[in-house]
Amino acid sequence: MPHATPSAPMRQRIITAVLRIIGEDGVAAVTNRRIAKEAGVSLGSVTYHFETQHELLRESLLQFVREEARYFTELAEQCRTEGLGVEDAASLAGQVACGSALDSAHLAPFELYLHAGRDERLREAAAEAFGAYDLLAARILTALGIPDAERLAATTVALVMGLQLRRLATGSPADDLVDALLLLMRGAADRSVTTDSGNPTAQ
């Protein structure tokens, strides 16, 4: 997560600081005083824009997901307009999901999702986040001609996030993610061919 520039909107600078703090030291380290210092704003500005820590955490999680969604939307559009094959799409997904350096920014969302497991007030935001990922995964799978795209979307998201977590914990290469995505998508495509060939009504 890059440091917010002084010219960035104050609310955005605060959210950027929150994500950086969470990624570095966890949710427990988020205090208004530290946020103000990291964001380069006054203490009063933090409480003006966010009345409660719950609101801060919720908006930070949703902001992260919006940025992620933007990248995946671009990927889905490429699949649709350029007619990318399964292997190309898997490679692109690996670049988007794991293409940047292992740093605190990639830890922040996992910290927030875990915190949502302890704080019911964050679960709605977490559900919204996963819903956005599922929708985008379904779009990409549909663009690739994968059958049952909506049904496979949540599994695809779980696979990507699980391997992202593994990469963060172990430093394993993004190739693992690409290989796993290929295995999943090829399996879905092969299953469809087998089902159709075994169906007397299939043409």
pLDDT tens across 166-180, in order?
888 887 766 677 777
The pLDDT, as a whole number, for residue 41 is 94
Retrieve residue 97's tokens.
């999901």
Summarize pLDDT for 132-141 with one digit per residue, the tens. 888 888 888 8
Residues 32, 47 contacting (CB under 8 angstroms): yes
- Residue pLDDT, tens place only, 73-108: 776 677 677 776 777 777 766 666 655 555 666 788
**In this structure, what token pair is assigned to residue 22?**
């969470």
∠ CA 165-191-194 to the nearest 5 degrees? 165
What's the rounded mean pLDDT across residues 149-173? 84
Please return the burial class of 203, using the count of CB atoms within 10 Å of its CB with bins 0-12, 13-18 and 19+: exposed
Q: How far apart are CA 43 and CA 83, in angstroms?
A: 50
If pLDDT is split at 50, 70 and 90, which confidence band does 50 have? very high
List the single range of 32-41, 116-125, 155-164 with lowest mean pLDDT.
155-164
Q: Transcribe 118-152 into DSSP letters.
A: H-GGGHHHHHHHHHHHHHHHHHHHHHTT-TTHHHH
Check pLDDT > 60 for residue 197. Answer: no
Cβ density class 79-112: b for 16+ within 10 Å, e for less: beeeebebeebbbbbbebbbeeeeeebbbbbbbb
- Can you tell me the distance from the alpha carbon of 192 to that of 30, in angstroms, rounded to the nearest whole number? 48
Helix extents (H) in the chain:
10-25, 32-39, 43-49, 53-82, 86-98, 104-118, 123-143, 149-170, 175-197
Mean pLDDT score of the chain = 80
- Residue 55 confidence (pLDDT): 92
When pLDDT is cut at 50, 70 and 90, the band that residue 20 belongs to is very high
